[in-house]
Amino acid sequence: MSGFTSLLEYEKPLHAGYELLPFRFTQLSGDRYVVTNLAGEFTVLERPELEAFAKTQLSASDPVYSELKSKHFLTDGDSNVAIDLLALKVRTKLAPLANFTGLHIFVTTLRCEHSCPYCQVSRANDDRREFDMTEETASKAVDLVFRSPSPAIKIEFQGGESLLNQDIIEFTVEEVTRRNQQEKRDLAFVIATNLAVLDDRAITFARKHNILMSTSLDGPADLHNRNRPRPGGNSYEKAIQGIHRVRRELGRDRVGALMTTTVASLGRVREIIDEYVRQDFDGIFLRPLSPYGFAIKTKFYQSYDQSRWLEFYFEGLDYIIDLNLAGFPFLEHYAATILRKMLTPFQPGYVDLISPAGIGIGAIVYNYDGDVYASDESRMLAEMGDKTFCLGNVHTHSYDELLLSDNLLEPLEASFAGSAPMCSWCAFEPYCGSDPVFHHATQKDFVGKKPLSAFCSRNMSIFRGLVERMERPGVREMFERWAYMR
């Protein structure tokens, strides 16, 4: 008759010690460290715990041992599946890379009737038709769109003010839709517009093709109109009218909004969030200025430093957390993107926070003149005279020539965070990106010296800030809800 072996046999694996699985650590504050594994699972350890763990001196009875084991920081004789599970998690995180380019941006025109001093695109006056995309260019770009193996294709129309060249939006949407009867991709269309020139024609067309509108809303009327001048000084009124009209005629969820932080926004983050709440948005994306286009020419980019923006960001984030804890659900989108990377098996497609970089792989831009760029920021840089990330032109280059261009492959390879100095040993690397365009723009180097990088210091501060806030009562649960929202 068979029976259980003695208790001693069951305890043997616990006394046999453990083996470290690959991990990285970074100081959180004081003696506390964030520790992450290859798949981005994390925990926080005190320095003595970290040292004992790293030197394989941790006892199996130590409270942190089970957590480290369950999150695949160590493996012991009790189980032999840790390596397989960790590999599966890494594979799941990286799976979207195989889909290749999902976001295709068409710059329909550089013309714009706004004259925002922080514009990252370097707009043209609204009577200059030489800055409009033609049907021939759009058709060639559509050929390239369908060369991407991605099962989901999102076409985003940008400007200038994209609706000033409505003919090309309609041509492109109809051409893509027609070709997709054979291709059977999961299609989505977005028009990025300030909504000031929204008319019946645009609304009717958007309804027919289920097109989403993405607009700009910088905050309350005085701030928005100061940031976004246009003839009549009524950018805010036009945007709000447009938002209401799109919701009324297309549906509540068919319009989204983005804000940009100027020096005039600092100190007003609560008012800006209140404006988004008042306009019935589910969340806000608190965005800093980018070092491109008019933002550089007008010195807007240099108008505040990183520490002031971080104060603005965290005041806003804490205000939003308080709103949620008081029972009002509201999201900060940048935090939610990072939390999705930290707390779920999924990899959001946000181009700035991917390594290998999202340029070309995550998004590609077809400019009004047929030039193809590796990202939106790449074409912004080109408008300043730097065509480092121009991959070619739809009229003269094939898909293979564009996507295997040295202008794409070299920055992708050079900037890979897993092998970049400081990134390669940083605990936050699984959540971060490499952003070769930003580092080229600011340091003339695809990799960039991270201790001098505003991209690095901003993201490190936000990663730390999110981990610290998760330790407050109720916040971890709230962040998990944000992480799983799409």
- Contacting residues toward another protein, per CB under 8 A: 19-25, 27, 38, 50-51, 54, 83-84, 86-88, 90-91, 94, 98, 421-422, 425, 449, 451-452
Rounded alpha-carbon distances, angstroms, from residue 11 to 78, 79, 332, 385, 424: 9, 13, 47, 68, 37
Our CB check for another protein shows the closer of 20 and 325 to be 20
Strand positions, DSSP E, 234-323: 255-258, 283-284
Our CB check for another protein shows the closer of 112 and 420 to be 420
Tokens encoding 267: 């100190």
| Rounded Cα gap, residues 117 and 485, in angstroms | 34
| SS3 (DSSP) at 368 | coil
Task: Find the shortest distance in angstroms from Cβ 147 to another protein.
Answer: 18
Our CB check for another protein shows the closer of 14 and 21 to be 21
| SS3 (DSSP) at 189 | strand
Task: Find the shortest distance in angstroms from Cβ 38 to another protein.
Answer: 6
103-107 sheet: strands from edge to edge: 255-258, 212-216, 186-192, 152-158, 103-107, 363-366, 371-373, 390-393
Our CB check for another protein shows the closer of 92 and 279 to be 92
Task: Find the shortest distance in angstroms from Cβ 55 to another protein.
Answer: 8
Amino acid at 412: L
Our CB check for another protein shows the closer of 444 and 476 to be 444
Task: Find the shortest distance in angstroms from Cβ 48 to another protein.
Answer: 12
Element (H, E) at 19: strand 18-20
354 contacts 455 by C-beta, under 8 angstroms: no
| SS3 (DSSP) at 25 | strand
Our CB check for another protein shows the closer of 53 and 366 to be 53
Task: Find the shortest distance in angstroms from Cβ 53 to another protein.
Answer: 9
Our CB check for another protein shows the closer of 22 and 232 to be 22
Our CB check for another protein shows the closer of 16 and 95 to be 95
Task: Find the shortest distance in angstroms from Cβ 348 to another protein.
Answer: 19
Element (H, E) at 362: none
Our CB check for another protein shows the closer of 90 and 152 to be 90
Task: Find the shortest distance in angstroms from Cβ 452 to another protein.
Answer: 5
Question: ∠ CA(73), CA(75), CA(81), 5° rounding?
Answer: 105
Our CB check for another protein shows the closer of 22 and 231 to be 22
Q: Cα-Cα-Cα-Cα dihedral of 125, 128, 130, 131, to 10°?
A: 30
| Rounded Cα gap, residues 465 and 443, in angstroms | 26
Our CB check for another protein shows the closer of 198 and 420 to be 420
Residues in CB range of 67: below 8 A, 6 or more apart:
43
Task: Find the shortest distance in angstroms from Cβ 349 to another protein.
Answer: 19
Tokens encoding 283: 């969340």
Tokens encoding 433: 């990106």
Task: Find the shortest distance in angstroms from Cβ 76 to another protein.
Answer: 14
Element (H, E) at 35: strand 32-37
Question: ∠ CA(393), CA(397), CA(400), 5° rounding?
Answer: 125
Tell me the β-bridge partners of 25: 35
Give the DSSP per-residue string, 206-226.
Answer: HHHTT-EEEEE--SSHHHHHH
Q: Cα-Cα-Cα-Cα dihedral of 350, 353, 354, 359, to 10°?
A: 70
| Rounded Cα gap, residues 320 and 169, in angstroms | 36
